[in-house]
Amino acid sequence: MLEQGVENNELENEDQFEHYRFVAADGQVPLRVDKFLMNFIERATRNKIQEAAKAGKIFANDLAVKSSYKVKAKDVITVVLESPPVEHELVAENLPIDIVYEDDALIVVNKKAGMVVHPGHGNYTGTLVNGLMYHIENLPKNSNERPGLVHRIDKDTSGLLVVAKTVEAMTFLAKQFFDKTTERVYHALVWGNLEEDEGTIEGNIGRSLKNRLQMSVFPDGDFGKPAVSHFKVLERFNYVTLVECRLETGRTHQIRAHFRYIGHTLFNDARYGGDAVLKGTTFTKYKQFVENTFKELPRQALHAKTLGFVHPTTKEMMRFTSDTPEDMLKALERWRAYTINTKEDLK
């Protein structure tokens, strides 16, 4: 080993990672990369390293490799591992929370865009969890700094979220998300005019091999975790389309990654390139219209509209629907008006 470096990186929801780089010695005999890394990374288990390989986080000479890859002399091996959680004192804060429903077992909230769901690297205050701690005493502990949570949505995605108030409720709800029996419906505005009125997007989702702040789709299934998204067109605006998305799985950035994969990046999704004019004309007037619409909706056009699950106590099916937020409504109205008023030969 000639060199090693460690640094922190961030993805949505402020996940923290450790980056390592090793150069195999001249006399290195062929050795599986998982065994090779265990010799140099303190506290790393073989299972953790193999999971990193499955997620496409181990590279040999800049190419992603499986855990069975044999390290040879002078190979440059890089790996990205999730950092162990760092404990921080959680502080209850009197924050505005839109409570849709609440009983002794759970609470359903309509999260506003821009609010981080749980504390993490760089965001230890001002999160939904901080606000819930002020509203609810003794939220059940799930994992470090995520009490009561059984799922989450991105910072700049708005919409419905269910939070458990008891250990029993958390266990019951978490199993439903694991078993994929919950109902989750999103509304998204995407670039382009989808060819089909409805369809399904399938493909493993894992961290991008080129940009560690993004998630990518791996259709061959070599990396990442299986992900399935169903969609239905709700309204067409020629250059953008309003779609309904139903999730079978709940991977990080699933809708954002899946729609980019099929060539229909979410409108104004800066992380995935949707904050540029991806479809439309070259006319200055049109570009100005898009820029003004970006200002009306300064985030990715994604809203968690419907959430359904079986109640942990009553065992009854519960379903909640939230209104489309004002920023998305304004953007949709602008596109409707533009579509009606334009006399161009739109495609």
Which are the catalytic amino acids?
Answer: 154
Domains identified in the chain and CATH numbers: 12-82 (3.10.290.10), 99-179 (3.30.2350.10), 183-341 (3.30.2350.10)
Arithmetic mean of pLDDT over the chain = 88
pLDDT of residue 145: 60
Mean pLDDT of 231-245: 97
pLDDT of residue 142: 65
pLDDT of residue 292: 97
pLDDT band of residue 5 (cuts 50, 70, 90) is very low
Q: What percent of the chain has pLDDT over 90?
A: 67
pLDDT at 343 over 60: no
pLDDT of residue 7: 27
Task: Please calculate the CA angle 305-327-13 and round it to the nearest 5 degrees.
Answer: 65
pLDDT of residue 8: 27
| The two three-digit tokens of residue 219, written as one number | 């259709």
pLDDT top residue among 132 and 207: 132
pLDDT of residue 143: 57
Mean pLDDT of 337-344: 79
Mean pLDDT of 166-188: 94
Length of the chain: 347
pTM of the model: 0.77
> Phi-psi region for residue 15, left (φ > 0), alpha (ψ -120 to 50) or beta?
beta
95-112 pLDDT per residue, tens: 999 999 999 999 999 999
Highest mean pLDDT, choosing among 58-72, 87-101, 200-214: 58-72
pLDDT at 4 over 60: no
Closest by Cα among 227, 236, 229 to 199? 229
pLDDT of residue 44: 78
pLDDT of residue 55: 84
Question: What b/e sequence results for 37-46 when a residue is b if at least 16 CB atoms lie within 10 Å of its CB, and e otherwise?
Answer: beeebeebee
pLDDT top residue among 305 and 62: 305
pLDDT band of residue 48 (cuts 50, 70, 90) is confident
Instruction: Report yes or no: 128 and 152 within 8 Å, Cβ to Cβ.
Output: no
